[in-house]
Homo-oligomer: A and B are copies of this chain.
């Protein structure tokens, strides 16, 4: 099958309507904390608050979303004000005295937990750069660039952040180059930064050389520093939706580089390999974890369906289709789109459920918690809308 122009227009209208009439209204304006600033996002199925704590990841991700809507959809004052609320809360409450950021704070910004990862920082970078573009605030732009430099340091200086494991069996994850590619792309597209192109090239090369295994048609989640497979449970564990997120970051870069054919091929191969492994042929949807050699993984919920991998695969398949015209990707996009909007979307209350059992039944009804909030779903709907607008206007 293929998509006709009418199909693409229908899809564009669908994503636009979902984003602006369903997903965004679920979260806003009620999630803006008028008392302490930032966002109150831990909500149940109908949108009631179940916890007033704040995930620092989500303070950044939400400020990014609101700034991005302002920058690319419509310069609505309420979106800019909402974004400012998050940026101010982050600056007032989310940094420790060592310059690193917390992970979890109370409603009024007292720190509950700090982690050894630097994701809070990368999400603050994309929030600050998008907000700096929206507001024109040069001080926030400088802060974004400074923090981006810190993230580069964390990502490339082994041992700078307290390690979780000893040095006996060194390993590295695909998550670090992936998140840094996306962070660099975001800063480049909003406020610009001369470091981005070179670093993106390095991180893509690292993924290509060390994580993508053409001989076994697989993208590893974790490898030894030299790229070899670590033949233990953790080293063998694959995360298809995550690898496919990496695939679309690379396809996005290919497009930025005038449809660089090598990057298109790399992104498509990553998507092909992990679709083949991750698509659940029995029940539909993307399985969460798999062992590269078919052994049982350590995790017990490995066959659940999580919302966010589906968001990533919807983007990746549509991007691959619009860039290559390969009908296979239209077919896959339709499969993942239909599965997702029939299983995850809460038609009664808006937004998506986060967690389904393997058979597609809802396992847990929270719309927001420490790890779920207004990011993957609105990003997918926003990205697909932008992409289809662009494709249809060509």
Residues of A within 8 A of B (CB): 42, 44-45, 50-53, 106, 110-114, 164-166, 168-169, 232-233, 295-304, 306, 354-355, 357-358, 363-366, 369-370
What residues of chain B lie closer than 8 Å to A370, measured between beta carbons? 233, 298
Provide 7 A-B residue pairs closer than 8 Å at the C-beta atoms, listed in order of the A residue.
A52-B232, A110-B168, A111-B168, A233-B369, A302-B364, A357-B357, A358-B363
Q: How far is the CA of A42 from the CA of B306 in the complex (A)?
A: 27
B106, B165, B302: which contacts A113 (Cβ < 8 A)?
A: B165
Check B164–A113 contact: CB distance below 8 A.
Answer: yes
Q: Are A355 and B300 interface neighbours, CB within 8 A? A: yes
With known contacts A233-B50, A301-B304, A357-B358, A296–B365 Cβ distance under 8 A: yes
B298 touching A369, Cβ below 8 Å:
yes
Tell me, rounded to whole Å, the shortest Cβ–Cβ distance linking A180 to chain B: 25
Known A-B contacts A232-B51, A301-B363, A364-B300; the reply to A112 vs B295 at CB < 8 A is no
Which chain B residues lie closer than 8 Å to A53 at the CB level?
232-233
Residues of B within 8 A of A164 (CB): 113
Report the separation of the CA atoms of residues A239 and B26 in the bound assembly, to the nearest whole angstrom: 31
Assembly CA distance A42 to B110 (angstroms): 41
Task: Tell me, in angstroms, the Cα distance from A295 to B368 when the chains sit together.
Answer: 12
Interface centre among A45, A232, A299, A303 (most CB of B within 10 A): A232
> Are the CB atoms of A364 and B297 closer together than 8 Å?
yes
Question: How far apart are A251's CB and chain B's nearest CB, in angstroms?
Answer: 29
Q: Across the interface, which residues of B come within 8 angstroms of A52, CB to CB?
A: 232
> Bound complex: CA of A301 vs CA of B299, how far in Å?
10
Taking CB as reference atom, which chain B residue is nearest A370? B298
18 other contacts beyond A53-B232, A112-B169, A113-B166, with CB at 8 A cut-off? A44-B295, A50-B233, A51-B233, A53-B233, A110-B169, A111-B168, A114-B166, A233-B370, A296-B364, A296-B369, A300-B301, A300-B354, A300-B363, A301-B301, A301-B304, A301-B363, A302-B363, A357-B357
Q: For residue A295, which residues in chain B have a CB less than 8 angstroms away from its CB? A: 44, 50, 366
Given A166-B113, A233-B42, residue A300 in contact with residue B296 (CB < 8 A): no
| A110-B301 Cα distance, complex, nearest whole Å | 29
Q: Compute how far the CA of A300 lies from the CA of B305 in the bound complex, rounded to whole angstroms.
A: 10
Closest residue of B by beta carbon distance from A355: B300
